Structure 1
C-alpha cells in the first residue's frame, strides 16, 4: 500500500485505472515504475491508440498472446495504421498484410478551417513553445467534416506562388484524421510544445512544416491542399488583407461558416487563434479525460488537520472527493 500511495495507484482497488487488468499484473515487478514490457496501472490506455489495455490484452494476463493487440504499441503489426483505426475499419491490427480502406481527402470531407499568417508580436505564440516567432507560429488547420476517417498521408500543402510547404507523413504512422477532428501544421517550433490543441496532439496530428516553414504572406495568399505529387488541387483557400491583423482568420461557425478575423468571432473570448480547437477553445469532439489522484505536499500543522487522506510524517495530503476510486474519509 505504501508503494501504491507514492506511485498514485489506488490501494483500495486492485485495478486503479479501471482497464480490467490488475495493478500487480500491469506493474509486474511491483516497483512503481512502468518498465519495458509493462503497461501503466494509472493509465487505461498505455499506448494511446484509443483501445483500453484490457481490451488489447483480452485475457488480462500481461502477455501479448496470439490474436491480441499489444497495449504497449500503437501499431501492433507495423503496417503504419493505428490498432483502433484497423478495428474500426474492419482490417486486422495483428496482420500487416491486412490494411483498412480509408477515404482520401476531398471537398466533401475536409475543409481548411483556420489560417494564421501574421502572428501578433506580443501574444502570437500559437504553437505554445514559449518562443514567439513570426514564422514558426504560423499555422494551417484542416478539419474532417465527415463521419468517417480521412487519410491525408502523402498529400501536400502548397503556398501558391511559392510551392510545396508540407507533405503529410505516411510513416511510422499514416496521417489519418478521425471524424470531426482537426490536424494542425505549424511553421516550426522550438523544444517542447505545451498545448494539447484540442484532441489533435493526442491523435498525433500536430506537425511542423516538412519544408521547415510555411512562409505565408500576411496580406494576400492562396493555400492549397494537393494530392500526392502535387498535380491535383483538392482544397483551395485564398485570403486578403483580413489576415494582416495580428490574429488568425477562421471559419465561423467552425467547419461550415465564412472566414472572419478570429477576434471578430463572437465566441472567441479574446483569443487570437485556436489551433486544433473550435473558436471558443473547445475540442471539436468530446473525449473523456483520464484524471489521476491528486497528491499535495504540505507542511504538517499541529493546529490544523485537513480533511481527506493525510500522512503527517511524509507530508502528504490526498484531496478529498472521488478521484477514480479514491474515497478519503
Structure 2
C-alpha cells in the first residue's frame, strides 16, 4: 500500500519476470531541475513524447490527470495498443577494429564516426526531433550537445532512425532514416555512458544509461548492444542475439527490415 516515492527525488525501476531491468525513471535525468514535492504531478508535455514538466505548467487548471491527457481528455483507444513509443533499440559504443568495424559503410573504419544509435518509433504518431539535442555524459555537464537534430527530422510511425557519429554513410540500412552527428563525434565511452536527448525547450526527452540499460554488459566488446527481441526485449550483446552479426544499424538483429 505504499510506493514510497521520495519528494526530494527518486529512481523508479521496473524489472521483468526474469529480474532484468525493463524500464526506469530517474529524477536526476527525467525532469531534472523540477520540484517533485510541489503538491502536483509531473507529466510529459506534450503527452507521450514531450519532456517532463510540472502539471500546472502543462495545464494550469489541473494538478494531475491520471489516465488522461494533461488537459483531461482521453488518449483514445489506439494510443497504448500499437507499441512501446519512441525508443533506443541498439547502440554501438565500440566499433570493431579493421574493416569489420565500418558500420556506416563509407569504406573507412573510425572509432568515432562508426559509432551509432538506432531509434525506433514503435507508436502510431510521428515524432518530430527537429531542434532536439543529444549529449554524452561529459557534455551534459557542460550543456554542449554532441548533436543537434536538424529541421524536418521527423520519424514516422513504425519508422527507424540511425544516427552515426560521422563519415558518409553508404548503404540501405533497411530503409531507415540516416543522420550524422553535427560535431562528427558522439564520444560514447566504451566503459559506460549516459546518452541524453533533450527537446527543443531543453527538457529531457529520452535517456540511455549503461548503469541500468544493459547493466553488466561489456560495452567495449567490439560489437553493439541491442534489444532482444527487438523493440520490446532487454539489452544484450549483439552476438548473443545473433551470432552471425556484430551490429545491425537500421534493421532487426537478424538483418531483416522492421
Query: TM-score range, shorter-chain basis?
Result: 0.5 to 0.7
Measured in 1, the distance between the counterparts of 2:170 and 2:243 equals 20
Q: Does 1:236 align with 2:181?
A: no
Contact 2:167 2:184 in 1 (8 A): no
- Name the counterpart of 2:92: 116
Report deviation, 1:105: 3.3
Measured in 1, the distance between the counterparts of 2:154 and 2:184 equals 22
- Name the counterpart of 1:223: 195
Which of 214, 227, 237 is the equivalent residue of 2:186? Answer: 214
- Give the secondary structure class of the aligned counterpart of 2:218: helix
- Give the secondary structure class of the aligned counterpart of 1:198: helix
Question: Which runs of 5 or more residues in structure 1 are unaligned?
Answer: 1-101, 285-329
Report deviation, 1:161: 2.1
- Give the secondary structure class of the aligned counterpart of 1:207: strand
Measured in 1, the distance between the counterparts of 2:200 and 2:170 equals 31
Q: Does 1:143 align with 2:120?
A: yes
> Which 4+ stretches in 1 moved above 4 angstroms?
none
- Name the counterpart of 2:163: 185
Measured in 2, the distance between the counterparts of 1:251 and 1:157 equals 21
- Name the counterpart of 2:148: 167
Contact 2:122 2:157 in 1 (8 A): yes
Measured in 1, the distance between the counterparts of 2:223 and 2:243 equals 13
Q: How many residues align?
A: 171
Gap change, CA 1:105 and 1:169, over 3 Å in 2: farther
Contact 2:117 2:164 in 1 (8 A): yes
Q: Does 1:105 align with 2:49?
A: yes
- Give the secondary structure class of the aligned counterpart of 2:239: helix
Q: Which has the higher strand share?
A: 2
Measured in 1, the distance between the counterparts of 2:249 and 2:172 equals 9
- Name the counterpart of 1:276: 250
Q: Does 1:156 align with 2:133?
A: yes
Report deviation, 1:106: 5.0
Contact 2:50 2:199 in 1 (8 A): no
